[in-house]
Structure 1
Amino acid sequence: MEIKSLIASVLPFVLGSLYAVYNYHQLHLGYLLLFFIASSLFHMATNANDNYQDFIHAPRNHDNQEFLEETNVVGVNQISISQARLLTFGLAGVSLVIGLWLVTKTGLPLLWMGIYSYAVGYFYAGGPKPISSGPFGEFFSGFTMGFMIFWISVYINTFDRVPITWQNTGEVLIASGLAIFAIANIMLANNICDMDEDIALGRHTILYYLGKPVMLQVFAWSYIAGYVCLMVAVWLGVLPKFSLLTLISVIPVLKNTHLFLQKQVKRETFILAIKNATIICLSFIVFMGLGLVFH
């Protein structure tokens, strides 16, 4: 699993589990492990579908030759269309079977969460108007990976003890805000770096509508919004006070953000958004874990 996928799926899973332990003092390790497997398989299926859909829908012309032969995984590895399709549906199918079994054990709320997640996973790159090719890719990426995985991890561990309410859902949303914005910024940085290529491929991402200068400011302010969510969650009492030490990560995140604002080149500076998300989520996990120990 590539580092981008690790951040987007594994780290929110860990954060959600820590949240469940801190607030409800409960873990269902067996169900949690199965959810982790299902989530990881589906994330790989989504990545496979993304590359497959990009490859088959990319215009066959001189401008896109480099993308087809040197960028897209299907073209680079000379994977046949049938192989790509089999891999995508195979991974998604196994994930679906595990997910449905978990629904029978934990209840219908997981089904609705799963339907949303699977729908976003498919339509992110599939369908007549893929989410990733439109102006809402960053929102769905951050919300689905940063919040939904976090929330499902909480639910899996507490379904038999805590009913879902607007209040506790809102608390989970605020607590996961730091992860939401960090993950959304990975997608945003990718689109900023790929703006010219996306336009050539006919993708109208948010960069197409608002322009690079505006979205660079959004990129920087999104990190601030995430840290504000962290402080609000601690103030509400749903995160341990030790979690505030995550604010130490502002120092390297600010440095990396400044470098990205100066230069947006996919092979040179896109990695900075991944580094920021890694620093943020790992420090969040470490200090939240310490908060559990000393709680």
Structure 2
Amino acid sequence: MTKHWLQWSTFVELTEAFTAPLNLAWLLMGACIAQYFYQVVNWVNIGLFLINIVCFDLAVNITDNYYDYLHAKDREGYAKHTNVMGRLNLPLRGVWLLGLSLYLLSLVPAVILLWRAGWSLLPLGIVGYGLGIFYAAGPFPINATPLCEAAASVGITYMVQLVCVCSAVAPHYSLSWDLAGKTFMVCLPVVLIAFTLQLANNVADLDEDIKNGRYTLAFYLGRPHSLLLMRVLQVVGGLWPLVNWLSNVSPWPVLITIPLMLPMFWGMRPFYANPDKERTFFPLVKAASVYFVGYTIFLAIGVWL
């Protein structure tokens, strides 16, 4: 490996930068919640949080790939040919320094945000950074346990929005159980669908995970029960906007997302028939993305139009 190992294509694959635009959707959802319940949105704070979460997300993806490579027991298969570190023959120290640099960079807007929004955000920040770092790092990484699916889905589709809401309403309001509860109710549909994606990913990777000592929820449930749980959670998540509307937690346009269950289920059928990472997993992700985007758009329409 030459000293000029960090090409743009390598950076994109290592950081999975193509997923970064999703952060815009999550922050838009947080802004919607702030406006709907508190009629205030501090866009400067949201902008700072956007910079923070993008840098943090890139850093987490780097450390996930880095530590998955280090922890891999299947050195000839997964470590050498599947993980981006081995496949591209990337230098360990260089990748570690890149991840550290992005973590440190993410702290700059985070500290400014804490100064502007209040130190009540600090506990959420500590939990968020802890989840991100120890998802793959340490002697007992979260992604090798049955907590893997819940930690990833709740972290990405609830905690991000919760911090966004707290940032948006500061300094007029601060973190409270009422704020956290309302945010959770609004986010629950995407939390459940995101959980099914994490579970599907681990179902598709089950044999590979076992070889590398990762025993996720998919391992303990087995493929048939994992797929059954996915179906149940997708139905509950798809119908939950009705509960939110009846509870006066969401505006009525979110009800339009309920029919989006049909194309979502249709797009996921190939995965249920053949859970395969290369052939059927990414069509499943695309099908779920239709719901994510639709839910966020109709929530925004209900709040601002």
Residue aligning to 1:14? 28
Report sequence identity in percent.
28
The amino acid of 1:37's aligned partner reads I
1:201-240 equivalences in 2 (<5 Å): 201-240=212-251
Unaligned runs of 5+ in 1: none
Residue aligning to 2:11? none
CA-to-partner distance for each residue in 1:119-143, whole Å, 9 max, x for gaps? 0001100011100111011100111
Residue aligning to 1:28? 42
Distance in structure 2 (CA, Å) of the matches to 1:74 and 1:244: 44
Residue aligning to 1:186? 197
Residue aligning to 2:118? 107
Alignment counterpart, residue 162 of structure 1, candidates 162, 166, 173: 173
- Is the contact made by 2:131 and 2:151 (CA closer than 8 Å) also made in structure 1? yes
Distance in structure 2 (CA, Å) of the matches to 1:265 and 1:40: 29
- Is the contact made by 2:239 and 2:258 (CA closer than 8 Å) also made in structure 1? no
TM-score normalised over the length of structure 2: 0.90
Secondary structure of residue in 2 paired with 1:67: helix
Q: What displacement does 1:168 show?
A: 2.7
Distance in structure 2 (CA, Å) of the matches to 1:6 and 1:263: 29
Greater relative contact order (CA < 8 Å, ≥ 6 in sequence): 1
Secondary structure of residue in 1 paired with 2:140: coil
CA-to-partner distance for each residue in 1:233-254, whole Å, 9 max, x for gaps? 2222231101110112111111
Residue aligning to 2:66? 52
1:70-219 equivalences in 2 (<5 Å): 70-219=81-230
Paired residues, what number? 290
Unaligned runs of 5+ in 2: 1-15
Q: C-alpha root-mean-square deviation of aligned residues, in Å?
A: 1.6
CA-to-partner distance for each residue in 1:68-113, whole Å, 9 max, x for gaps? 2332111222210011101111111111222122111111221111
Post-superposition, which runs of at least 4 consecutive aligned residues in structure 1 deviate over 3 A? 1-7
Alignment counterpart, residue 246 of structure 1, candidates 257, 263, 274: 257
- Is the contact made by 1:21 and 1:27 (CA closer than 8 Å) also made in structure 2? yes
Distance in structure 1 (CA, Å) of the matches to 2:196 and 2:65: 20
Distance in structure 2 (CA, Å) of the matches to 1:2 and 1:260: 25
Mean CA deviation greater in 48-57 or 181-190 = 181-190
Distance in structure 2 (CA, Å) of the matches to 1:109 and 1:225: 33
The amino acid of 2:116's aligned partner reads K
Distance in structure 2 (CA, Å) of the matches to 1:91 and 1:152: 20
